[in-house]
Amino acid sequence: GENVEQHPSTLSVQEGDSAVIKCTYSDSASNYFPWYKQELGKRPQLIIDIRSNVGEKKDQRIAVTLNKTAKHFSLHITETQPEDSAVYFCAAGGINNNDMRFGAGTRLTVKP
């Protein structure tokens, strides 16, 4: 099955700086890579996703890159704001959640 590793586990940045979170996966058959933001006690919210036929995707301040050869993908948040503070999870698997596995999470703190 799929195994996803995520780094770093905690990340602290100053407001306005960029934040990068990296994940690796093991199953070359995985073709869907979503990123979720989870605030304390709430459900994870999908913030961006990428499919295996795309190398990069951007949505305003958030971007995700995928390197299928190396089996790693990254989340980039630019111009961070305090409200970006949360736990971020990467995941990898099939597009319909078959064998979807989550990374351990990254607790991002944006200091004002």
Partner 1 sequence: GAVVSQHPSRVICKSGTSVKIECRSLDFQATTMFWYRQFPKQSLMLMATSNEGSKATYEQGVEKDKFLINHASLTLSTLTVTSAHPEDSSFYICSASPGSYGYTFGSGTRLTVV
Binding site for partner 1 (CB under 8 A): 32, 34, 36, 41-46, 49, 89, 95-97, 100-105, 107
Q: Which residue, chain included where needed, has tokens 């070359």?
A: 28
Q: Kind of pairing, strands 45-51 and 101-102?
A: unpaired
Minimum CB separation of residue 105 from partner 1 in Å reads: 5
Nearer to partner 1, 20 or 95 (CB): 95
Nearer to partner 1, 22 or 101 (CB): 101
Minimum CB separation of residue 57 from partner 1 in Å reads: 13
Q: Which of 17, 2, 10 is nearest to 105 (CA)?
A: 10
Nearer to partner 1, 46 or 54 (CB): 46
Nearer to partner 1, 22 or 102 (CB): 102
- In DSSP terms, 11 is beta-bridged to 108
Residue 96 corresponds to which tokens in the numbers above?
């319909």
Minimum CB separation of residue 29 from partner 1 in Å reads: 17
Other C-beta atoms closer than 10 Å to the C-beta of 99 total 12
Minimum CB separation of residue 25 from partner 1 in Å reads: 14
Q: How far apart are CA 104 and CA 4, in angstroms?
A: 8
Residue 74 corresponds to which tokens in the numbers above?
């990254």
